[in-house]
């Protein structure tokens, strides 16, 4: 054998050995990784809505880090996550979902958080096929509350219908009882989109039930000019305005309301019109503005003290602007992370302590019971409402707190959580879900399982 | 009747705000025949720079001066890096280049200054005053006054100064203008700089109204029908177009929207624009191109 041939054989053998070694190392690394729980995060850190999103991921990531750093993971299973930029655009959101749905390094995707109402709607059917639950806190398809028809969609905590009903109940509270709603005029100024129109049916139903006048005024996207809409408000003289905006629409609405002389303390912003980012640009005229939210602002909750001590003070926080610690959006991220972690914990209790896949997480979500006691253990009393989900109820909570802007910060002005009339609205929701099932040829699941 | 007048006046004043953005487009188009897609991004960039400086405690006027300097630097950079290499290329190429410039400005502005929403307080009271039984916004009146001053100043600039006359010469016949020694590059830098100044004014007024945030770039959506109606080459046309769009949108929203059961102002101004295109393709004040056959 020539020297050249010998060299070639030796070099091939070395190459093969290196390949085998790297494969072995890779396998062991991936086995190691599989002991972690993967959470893909669909984020929008750039684009028109980045300012709303950035504090959300901070709250979420800070809580995940807290679970890893302080609690050593969920029963020892550490959380890993990566981000996928959606720009809040449907096509990018769907692409992101497709990219991450197979999991990472052997760790499955237990829950996908679409972070966008249109994205969540686009993924409804895909999530069923892939058996990955979509958790859409305070957004998404309302009829997905009926888990018999929508097994993998979870509009957890506070649907848009509950939002509308709680706002009406707060007005009733202010007026001195539900009987005092009769004869009142409540105008809804809404973003002219499927999201904005989502509360029309429940408000019409509530108006019929309680006898108030339901006025609907659309604002075209993006809502940076609303003089005509508020001239109409001035003409119709409603007692209250329910503002369902998104993005720039909210500060412009508050400013235009002031411009036509409508009292800002009689405007109740919806969930996505109730953050610091919504009201700060309105400046001084925003003082007194109200908003209903499932994410009460504040940094005095027990969990915040823990996050401050173990994450923020150690420089581990994802938060770039410390002013946002305890903001509505930051707290929404914390809430979302708490629900995701607790669903995994519930699933682990049933399926075993290991990374949980989508199908198991769906079981975990449908058996999630965030009682007052459990919330107190987490340190989230007052931040998160008690929540009990089931196959027939993917919402669970249905209450919000009313905040008032004092020019600097939000203060809670409602008497605790303002409950919605879920008993009144659920039959309508189930009817809509049944209609969807008929349209799509879906046989509803048996809710007793 | 007073409601109708109030809606009309509100619409007219809103239209002036659109005109402010449209003027920026007109300036660049008038001097170079380029439809500057980056105008909305320039409005965002100017407002974001100004508010970032103000947040750092810099005095109002100094912040305005620094912002203007930044806008002039952007103008020089755009001319040097993008426009100069594309001289004599088809108009569509230049248009696509400004599309790219738009994304670069938006992206860089967000990277450098962040994506947070900022409040911008210009110290203008935004409470209504009553004139003849009609409520009018003080802020809108000041915005209209600013637009008026801007139109007069730009008209003097274009008609009475050497630079302005040279810009008009370039717009009329670039080859002839170059042959008599007019420096195209310098004038493009000047006109983009002036467009930057207009962006600053528009950015401040729009930013004060809605907060300084990414959505400022979307105000250009309403500037397009304004330009189609008023004409791409006339500053007066931008004002008149703005008034027509503002009033038309407001009245349509109130009287047509309730009939159709939805908001109409997103598309109504474009219906108006198409109608004007059919009747007067160059717009009310635009110059119809005359070509030798």
Give B81-111 pLDDT, tens digit per residue: 998 888 778 888 988 999 999 999 988 988 8
Residues 6+ apart with CB under 8 A from A417: A385, A399, A400, A401
CB < 8 Å to B264, chain A: 220
- Report chain A's terminal Cα–Cα distance, integer Å: 72
**Where are chain A's structural domains?**
37-158+297-398+422-440, 161-293
Residue appearing with tokens 């997103």: B266
The Cα B95–Cα A414 span in angstroms is 54
- Tell if the CB–CB gap between B117 and A51 is shorter than 8 Å: yes
Nearest residue to B47 (alpha-carbon basis) of B104, B117, B102, B100: B117
With H, G, I as helix, E, B as strand and everything else as coil, classify residue A47.
coil
Residue of B107, B202, B211, B270 to mutate, interface with A, max A Cβ within 10 Å: B211
Q: Convert A177-193 to b/e letters by CB count within 10 Å (16 or more is b).
A: ebebbeebebbbbbbbb
- Tell if the CB–CB gap between B214 and A49 is shorter than 8 Å: yes
Report how far Cα A299 is from the mean position of its chain's Cα atoms.
Answer: 19
Size of chain B in residues: 293
List the structure tokens of B175: 């080859």
The answer to whether domain A37-158+297-398+422-440 has CATH 3.40.50.2300 is: yes
Facing residue for A261 by CB, picked from B10, B128, B266:
B128
Helices (H), chain B: 2-32, 39-55, 60-77, 91-113, 138-160, 162-172, 174-179, 184-210, 220-230, 235-251, 257-260, 265-279
CB < 8 Å to B120, chain A: 281
For chain A, 449 residues long, give each residue's pLDDT as a single digit of tens: 444 455 454 455 544 444 444 444 443 444 444 589 999 999 998 877 888 899 999 999 999 999 999 999 999 999 999 999 998 899 999 999 999 999 999 999 999 999 998 999 999 999 999 999 999 999 999 999 999 999 999 999 999 999 999 999 999 999 999 999 999 999 999 999 999 999 999 999 999 999 999 999 999 988 988 988 998 999 999 999 999 999 899 999 999 999 888 999 999 999 999 999 999 999 999 999 999 999 999 999 999 999 999 999 999 999 988 889 999 999 999 999 999 999 999 999 999 999 999 999 999 999 999 999 999 999 999 999 999 999 999 999 999 999 999 999 999 999 999 999 999 999 999 999 999 999 999 999 987 65
List the structure tokens of A262: 């409508």
Counted domains in chain B:
1
Facing residue for A224 by CB, picked from B117, B137, B218:
B218
Give the CATH superfamily of A161-293.
Response regulator (3.40.50.2300)
pLDDT in tens, B31-42: 878 889 899 999
Handedness of CA A55, A61, A65, A66 (dihedral sign): positive
pLDDT band at B6 (very low <50, low <70, confident <90, very high): confident
Angle formed at CA A209 by CA A203 and CA A213, multiple of 5 degrees: 55
The Cα A170–Cα A418 span in angstroms is 7
List the structure tokens of A68: 């890893």
Report how far Cα A449 is from the mean position of its chain's Cα atoms.
Answer: 27
Distance from CA of A258 to the nearest CA of B (A): 6
Facing residue for A225 by CB, picked from B14, B116, B212:
B14
Facing residue for B254 by CB, picked from A51, A228, A248:
A228
The verdict on residue B50 lying in a domain is yes
Instruction: B74-77: list long-range contacts, CB under 8 Å, 24+ apart.
Output: B74/B42, B74/B45, B74/B105, B74/B192, B74/B196, B75/B189, B75/B190, B75/B192, B75/B193, B75/B195, B75/B196, B76/B189, B76/B192, B76/B193
Residue appearing with tokens 């931040």: A383
The verdict on residue B230 lying in a domain is no
The Cα B274–Cα B196 span in angstroms is 29
Residue A317 DSSP symbol = -
- Tell if the CB–CB gap between A281 and B120 is shorter than 8 Å: yes
Beta carbons within 10 angstroms of residue B107's beta carbon: 13
- Tell if the CB–CB gap between B10 and A247 is shorter than 8 Å: no
With H, G, I as helix, E, B as strand and everything else as coil, classify residue A387.
strand
> What pLDDT does A396 receive?
95
Beta carbons within 10 angstroms of residue A407's beta carbon: 13
* Per-window interface: B 192-221 vs A, CB < 8 A: 206, 209-215, 217-219
The verdict on residue B192 lying in a domain is yes
The Cα A306–Cα A183 span in angstroms is 48
The verdict on residue B163 lying in a domain is yes
Beta carbons within 10 angstroms of residue A438's beta carbon: 10
Facing residue for A260 by CB, picked from B110, B114, B135:
B135
* Cβ–Cβ < 8 Å for A55, A324: yes
The Cα A374–Cα A441 span in angstroms is 39
pLDDT in tens, B168-225: 888 777 778 888 888 888 888 898 899 999 999 999 999 998 899 888 888 888 899 9
- Tell if the CB–CB gap between A224 and B215 is shorter than 8 Å: yes
- Tell if the CB–CB gap between A255 and B209 is shorter than 8 Å: yes
Handedness of CA A151, A155, A160, A164 (dihedral sign): positive
- Tell if the CB–CB gap between A218 and B257 is shorter than 8 Å: yes
B131 strand-pairing partners = B134
CA closest to B4 among chain A residues: A231
- Report chain B's terminal Cα–Cα distance, integer Å: 54
* Per-window interface: B 232-261 vs A, CB < 8 A: 249-251, 253-254, 257
> What pLDDT does A31 receive?
40
Size of chain A in residues: 449
- Tell if the CB–CB gap between B11 and A51 is shorter than 8 Å: no
Burial of A243 (0-12, 13-18, 19+ CB in 10 A): buried
> What pLDDT does A48 receive?
78
The verdict on residue B134 lying in a domain is yes
pLDDT in tens, B220-251: 888 999 999 999 989 999 999 999 999 999 99
> What pLDDT does A34 receive?
57
- Tell if the CB–CB gap between A225 and B118 is shorter than 8 Å: no
Ramachandran bin of B177, using left for φ above 0, alpha for ψ from -120 to 50, beta for the remaining angles: alpha
Residue of A217, A224, A232 to mutate, interface with B, max B Cβ within 10 Å: A224
Query: Above 90 in pLDDT, residue B136?
Result: no
Nearest residue to A49 (alpha-carbon basis) of B208, B113, B117: B117
ipTM of this model?
A: 0.86
Helices (H), A34-49: none
The verdict on residue B221 lying in a domain is no
Could you list the residue range(s) of the whole structural domain that residue B25 is in? 20-214
Beta carbons within 10 angstroms of residue A404's beta carbon: 18
B128 strand-pairing partners = B137
* Cβ–Cβ < 8 Å for B47, B109: no
CB < 8 Å to A320, chain B: 114
Nearest residue to B286 (alpha-carbon basis) of B250, B214, B233, B245: B233
- Tell if the CB–CB gap between A51 and B116 is shorter than 8 Å: yes
CB < 8 Å to B210, chain A: 224, 248, 251-252, 255, 281
> What pLDDT does A10 receive?
47
List the structure tokens of A64: 């995940």
Rg of chain B, C-alpha, whole Å: 19
* Cβ–Cβ < 8 Å for B97, B32: no
The Cα A225–Cα B226 span in angstroms is 15
A104 strand-pairing partners = A107
List the structure tokens of B80: 């040097």
Cis peptide before A222 (omega within 30 of 0): yes
CB < 8 Å to B52, chain A: none
Handedness of CA A224, A228, A234, A240 (dihedral sign): negative
Distance from CA of A269 to the nearest CA of B (A): 16
């Amino acid at each position: 054998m020539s020297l050249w041939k010998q060299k070639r054989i030796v070099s091939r053998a070395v190459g093969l050995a290196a390949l085998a070694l790297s494969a072995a190392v890779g396998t062991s690394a991936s086995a190691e990784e599989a002991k972690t729980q993967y959470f893909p995060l669909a984020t929008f850190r750039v684009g028109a809505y980045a300012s709303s999103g950035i504090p959300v991921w901070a709250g979420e990531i800070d809580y995940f880090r807290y679970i890893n750093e302080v609690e050593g993971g969920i029963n020892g299973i550490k959380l890993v996550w990566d981000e996928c930029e959606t720009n809040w655009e449907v096509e990018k959101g769907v692409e992101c979902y497709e990219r991450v749905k197979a999991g990472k390094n052997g760790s499955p995707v237990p829950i996908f958080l679409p972070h966008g109402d249109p994205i969540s709607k686009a993924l409804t059917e895909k999530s069923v096929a892939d058996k990955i639950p979509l958790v859409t806190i305070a957004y998404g398809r309302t009829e997905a509350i009926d888990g018999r028809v929508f097994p993998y969609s979870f509009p957890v905590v506070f649907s848009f219908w509950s939002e509308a009903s709680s706002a009406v109940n707060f007005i009733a509270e202010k007026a001195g009882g539900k009987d005092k709603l009769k004869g009142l005029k409540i105008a809804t100024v809404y973003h002219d989109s499927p999201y904005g129109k989502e509360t029309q049916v429940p408000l019409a139903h509530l108006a019929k039930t309680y006898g108030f006048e339901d006025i609907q005024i659309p604002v075209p996207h993006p809502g940076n000019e609303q003089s005509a809409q508020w001239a109409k408000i001035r003409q119709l003289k409603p007692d209250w305005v329910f503002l369902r905006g998104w993005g720039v629409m909210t500060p412009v609405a508050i400013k235009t309301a002031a411009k036509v002389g409508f009292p800002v303390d009689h405007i109740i912003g919806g969930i996505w019109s109730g953050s610091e980012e919504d009201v700060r640009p309105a400046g001084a005229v925003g003082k007194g503005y109200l908003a209903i939210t499932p994410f009460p602002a504040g940094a005095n909750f027990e969990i915040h003290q823990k996050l401050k001590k173990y994450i923020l003070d150690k420089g581990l926080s994802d938060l770039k602007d410390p002013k946002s610690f305890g903001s509505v959006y930051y707290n929404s991220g914390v809430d979302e992370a708490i629900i995701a972690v607790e669903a995994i914990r519930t699933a682990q209790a049933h399926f075993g302590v290991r990374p949980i896949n989508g199908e198991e997480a769906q079981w975990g979500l449908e058996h999630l019971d965030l009682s007052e006691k459990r919330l107190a253990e987490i340190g989230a009393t007052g931040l998160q409402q008690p929540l009990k989900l089931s196959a027939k109820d993917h919402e669970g909570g249905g209450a919000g707190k009313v905040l008032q802007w004092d020019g600097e910060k939000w203060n809670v002005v409602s008497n605790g959580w303002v409950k919605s009339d879920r008993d009144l609205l659920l039959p309508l929701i189930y009817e809509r879900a049944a209609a969807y099932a008929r349209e799509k040829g879906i046989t509803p699941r048996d809710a007793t399982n | 009747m007073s409601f109708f007048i109030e809606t009309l006046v509100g619409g007219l004043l809103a239209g002036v705000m659109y005109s402010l953005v449209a003027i920026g487009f007109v300036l660049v188009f008038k001097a170079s025949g380029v439809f500057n897609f980056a105008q909305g991004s320039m409005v965002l960039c100017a407002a974001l720079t100004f508010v970032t400086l103000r947040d750092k405690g810099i005095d109002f006027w100094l912040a305005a001066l620094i912002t203007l300097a930044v806008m002039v630097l952007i103008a020089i950079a755009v001319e040097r890096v993008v426009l100069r290499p594309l001289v004599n290329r088809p108009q569509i190429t230049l248009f696509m280049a400004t599309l790219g410039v738009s994304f670069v400005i938006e992206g860089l502005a967000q990277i450098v200054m962040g994506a947070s929403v900022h409040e911008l307080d210009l110290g203008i009271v935004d409470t209504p005053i009553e004139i003849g039984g009609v409520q009018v916004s003080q802020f809108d009146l000041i915005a209209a006054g600013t637009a008026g001053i801007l139109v007069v100043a730009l008209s003097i600039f274009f008609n009475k100064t050497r630079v302005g006359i040279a810009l008009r010469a370039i717009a009329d016949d670039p080859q002839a203008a170059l042959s008599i020694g007019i420096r195209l590059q310098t004038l493009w830098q000047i006109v983009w700089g002036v467009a930057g100044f207009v962006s600053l004014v528009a950015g401040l007024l729009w930013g004060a109204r809605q907060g300084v945030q990414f959505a400022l770039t979307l105000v250009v959506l309403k500037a397009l029908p304004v330009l189609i109606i008023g004409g791409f080459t006339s500053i007066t046309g931008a004002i008149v177009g703005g008034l027509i769009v503002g009033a038309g949108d407001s009245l349509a929203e109130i009287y047509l929207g309730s009939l159709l059961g939805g908001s109409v102002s997103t598309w109504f101004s474009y219906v108006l624009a198409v109608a004007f295109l059919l009747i007067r393709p160059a717009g009310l004040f635009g110059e119809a191109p005359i070509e030798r056959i």
